[in-house]
Amino acid sequence: MFNSYRTASFFFALTIAMFGYLQSLFPTDLASALEGANVRSPVMLFELATQQSHLINVFGTALDPERTARIAAMDSGNRADFFFMPIYGLFVFFTLAAMGKELGGSIWAAAGALGLLAAGADAYENRLLLSMTADLLNSSDELAVLPWPVWIKFGLLAIACGASGVALWKLKRPLLALLCTPSVLLIIPGILAPLTMGSLATQMIGVGWLGMGIHVVSRWLRAGSRTVK
């Protein structure tokens, strides 16, 4: 059982490290704030973009001297993101699979597989984003399709967090279960009002991952202390 927690802990550490690396690549500021939106991250607004004007908020106009640098930084981050996808997908899978071994039943590993499916949707999303930056002025086709892989990705991850919350509750870890709950509660509001609720909804997935990560690392360390004794 606890070998699975060791594997999940390994991928949790990789997830944290890769996430930190990606933040060093992506642009840090919007070219201009989007009025009425609660999105401050260029990466997030790019993913949530539904119209051409949103791309100007992310990258600036054609006359903006920083536009080329912003596009290059976004492309650099999105290319590196392809390496992040299998890492977080495997973290979600092995975490729920390990909890499933404690609880019994294959449904938990099946819920963990949602992380891998989310990574697949993420890969398609990134293909669209890279296609858009190659020709920002002619991105209407990609903008029309983009919300589907974006919200399939976040939706699957939110459901996986919710499943982790249920598993943690059954394992008598209520505080960690509570960390996994907000994402699944906020995902529908995020889908319905992406520019006001979407950023918060997606951030809660990260909070859920923190709860999952604390669980797997603590279980692994506890197993190691028992072995030493």
Q: 161, 18, 140: which is closest to 85 by C-alpha?
A: 18
Token pair, residue 12, equals 């949790």
Domain-embedded: residue 207: yes
Q: Which domain holds residue 162?
A: 2-24+84-228
Residue 27 in contact with residue 73, Cβ under 8 Å?
Answer: yes
* DSSP codes of every residue in 57-125: HHH--TT-TTHHHHHHHHHHHHHHHHHHHHHHHHHHHHHHHHHHHHH-STHHHHHHHHHHHHHHHHHHH
Domain-embedded: residue 215: yes
Domain count, the chain: 1
Angstrom distance (rounded) from CA 118 to CA 83: 14
Domain-embedded: residue 99: yes
Number of alpha carbons in the 13 Å side-chain half-sphere of residue 30: 20
Residues with Cβ < 8 Å from 52, sequence gap 6 or more? 137, 139, 140, 143
The gap from C-alpha 94 to its chain's centroid, in whole angstroms, comes to: 16
Mean pLDDT score of the chain: 95
pLDDT tens digit at each of 229 positions of the chain: 445 899 999 999 999 999 999 999 999 999 999 999 999 999 999 999 999 999 999 999 999 999 999 999 999 999 999 999 999 999 999 999 999 999 998 899 999 999 999 999 999 999 999 999 999 999 999 999 999 999 999 999 999 999 999 999 999 999 999 999 999 999 999 999 999 999 999 999 999 999 999 999 999 998 866 654 4
Q: 72, 34, 73, 68: which is closest to 54 by C-alpha?
A: 34
Domain-embedded: residue 41: no
Domain-embedded: residue 96: yes
Using alpha carbons, list the distances in angstroms from residue 209 to 41, 46, 51, 125.
20, 23, 31, 21
Backbone torsion region of residue 26, taken as left when φ is above 0, otherwise alpha when ψ lies between -120 and 50, otherwise beta? beta
Could you say which DSSP state residue 150 is in?
A: H
Angstrom distance (rounded) from CA 130 to CA 132: 5
Domain-embedded: residue 74: no
